[in-house]
Structure 1
Amino acid sequence: MLAGIGSNPGVPFTHLLWNQQSGFQAPLSLFPSTKLSLCPARPAPSSPNLSLARPPHLDPVLPRPYSSEEARAKGVESFSSSVPSIPNPFPELSKSPVLISSFPPQSSDKHAIKVYGEDSHSRSVWVSPGATAREVCHMLVQTAHCSDQENWALLEVHPTLGLERCLEDHEVVLEVQATWSLKGDTRFMFCKNYAKYEFFRKPMLFFPESMISDSADVNKGMTSSELIKNLLKSGTCPEIQGFLHVKEPSRKAWKKVYFFLRRSGLYSSTKGSSKEPRHLQYVADLDDLNVYTVVNSRKLYGAPTDFTFCIKPSKNPIRVQDLKILCAENEQTRTCWTSAFRLFKYGKQLQRNYEMSKAAPQKVEGSKFADGKSKSEDSLVAMDFSGKAGGRVIQNPMEAQSAEREEGLAWRRREALRCSLPNLNSPVRPSSIHKTQPWFHGGVSRKEAQRLIEKQGLVNGMFLIRDSQQHAQCFVLSLCYQLKTKHYLVIPFENGGRKYYTMDDGDTLFIDLLQLVEFHQINKGILPVCLKHPCVCVAL
Structure 2
Amino acid sequence: SRQPPQEEPRASSLPSIPNPFPELCSPSNSPILSSPALGQAPPREGTSHVVKVFGEDGACRSLEASAATTARQLCDTLVRRTRALHDHSWALVELHQHLALERCLEDHESVVEVQSSWAPGADSRFVFRKNFAKYELFKSNATLPHPGDPATPWGPCCAPEPSCCPHSQNFLNSGSCPEVQGFLQLREAGRKVWKRFHFSLRRSGLYYSTKGTSKDPRHLQYFADLTESNIYYVTQGKKLYGTPTEFGFCIKPHKVRSGVKGLKLLCSEDEQSRSCWMAAFRLFKYGMQLYRNYQQAQARLSQPPWIGPTPLRSVSDNALVAMDFSGCTGRVIENPNEVLTAALEEAQAWRVSWGAGESGGVPLSPPYHPFLSLCAQKKTTHRYSLPAACHSSPLSAAIHRTQPWFHGRISREDTQQLIGRQGLVDGVFLVRESQRNPKGFVLSLCHLQRIKHYLILPSEEEGRLYFTMDDGQTRFADLIQLVEFHQINRGILPCKLRHYCTCVAL
Same-fold call, TM cutoff 0.5 = yes
Which structure 2 segments of 5+ residues have no match?
1-44, 156-163, 306-310, 328-332, 355-365, 369-384
Q: Which residue pairs with 1:243 in the alignment?
A: 183
CA displacement, residues 313-342 of structure 1 (integer Å, 9 cap, x when unaligned): 024313201111111111111100001001
Following superposition, the deviation at residue 429 of structure 1 comes to 1.9
Structure 2 residue aligned with 1:183: 121
Q: Distance in 2 between matches of 1:213 and 1:518?
A: 35
Number of the residue aligned with 1:418: 388
1:254 partnered with 2:254: no
Distance in structure 2 (CA, Å) of the matches to 1:327 and 1:480 = 22
Amino acid at match of 2:435: Q
Residue from 335, 344, 353 that aligns with 2:293: 353
From the superposition, tell whether residues 409 and 214 of structure 1 become closer, same or farther in structure 2 (CA, over 3 Å).
closer
Matched, 1:405 2:343: no
**1:149-168 alignment to 2 at 5 Å?**
149-168=87-106
For the Cα contact (< 8 Å) 1:206–1:335, is it kept in 2?
no
Q: Is the 8 A contact 1:164 1:295 kept in 2?
A: yes
- Looking at structure 2, the residues matched to 298 and 214 of structure 1 have their Cα atoms a distance apart, in angstroms, of 23
Aligned to 2:315: 368
- Look up the match of 2:446: 480
Please, what is the CA RMSD of the aligned residues?
Answer: 3.6
Residues 157 and 215 (structure 1 numbering): CA distance in 2 closer, same or farther, change over 3 Å? closer
Q: Check 1:306–1:161 CA distance in 2 against 1; reply closer, same or farther (3 A cut).
A: same
Task: Render the CA deviation track for 1:169-216: whole Å, top value 9, x for unaligned.
Answer: 111111111111112110011111122111011364355762599999
**Cα 1:159–1:418 shift into 2, 3 Å:** same
Pairing 1:451–2:417 present: yes
**AA matched with 1:252:** K
Question: 1:302 aligns to what?
Answer: 242
Query: Percent of pairs identical after alignment?
Result: 48
Separation (CA, whole Å) in 2 of partners of 1:444 and 1:277: 52
**CA 1:213 to 1:455, structure 2 compared with 1: closer, same or farther past 3 Å?**
closer
- Residue in 1 aligned with 2:357? none
Note if contact 2:233-2:249 (Cα within 8 Å) is conserved in structure 1: yes
* Alpha-carbon distance change, 165 to 386 in structure 1, aligned in 2, over 3 angstroms: same
Partner of 1:286: 226
Task: Decide whether the 8 Å contact of 1:133 with 1:172 is kept in 2.
Answer: yes
> Are positions 1:231 and 2:201 aligned together?
no
The amino acid that maps onto 1:406 is Q
SS of residue matched to 2:62:
strand
SS in 1 for 2:467: strand
Deviates more, 1:180-189 or 1:267-276: 267-276
CA contact (8 A) 1:243 1:259 kept: yes
Equivalent residue number for residue 136 of structure 2: 198
**Would the aligned equivalents of 1:383 and 1:393 in 2 still touch at CA under 8 Å?**
no
Aligned equivalents of 1:437 and 1:445: distance in 2?
18
2:497 is equivalent to residue 538 of structure 1: no
2:258 counterpart (318, 323, 331):
318
Offset of residue 515 of structure 1: 1.7
Q: CA contact under 8 A between 1:456 and 1:535: conserved in structure 2?
A: yes
Deviation at 1:113, TM superposition (A): 1.3
- Determine the C-alpha separation between the residues in 2 that align with 1:453 and 1:206: 23
- Residues 1:417 and 1:241: Cα distance change in structure 2 (over 3 Å): closer
Query: Contact between 1:247 and 1:253, CA under 8 Å: does it hold in 2?
Result: yes
Q: Is the 8 A contact 1:157 1:165 kept in 2?
A: yes
Q: Residues 329-344 of structure 1: matches in 2 within 5 Å? A: 329-344=269-284
Tell me the matched-pair count.
413
CA contact (8 A) 1:248 1:255 kept: yes
Structure 2 length as normaliser, TM-score? 0.72
- When residues 501 and 212 of structure 1 are mapped into structure 2, their CA distance, relative to the original with a 3 A threshold, is closer
Cα distance change, pair 520–408 in 1 and its aligned pair in 2 (3 A): farther
Alpha-carbon contact 2:247-2:267 (below 8 Å) kept: yes
Letter in 2 for 1:538: V
Shift of residue 476, structure 1, vs aligned partner = 1.6
Q: How many Å separate the matches in 2 of 1:108 and 1:242?
A: 46
Question: How far apart are 1:375 and its partner, in Å?
Answer: 4.9
- Counterparts in 2 of 1:507-522, with a 5 A limit? 507-522=473-488
1:417 CA drift (Å): 6.1
The Cα offsets for residues 50-71 of structure 1, whole Å up to 9 and x where unpaired, read as xxxxxxxxxxxxxxxxxxxxxx
Matched, 1:141 2:79: yes
Cα distance in 1 for partners of 2:154, 2:484 equals 48
Asked if the contact 1:117/1:539 (under 8 Å) is kept, the reply is yes
Tell me: CA distance 1:320–1:391, structure 2 relative to 1, closer, same or farther (3 Å): closer
CA displacement, residues 147-187 of structure 1 (integer Å, 9 cap, x when unaligned):
21422111100112211110111111111111111121100
Distance 2:220 2:319 in 1: 44
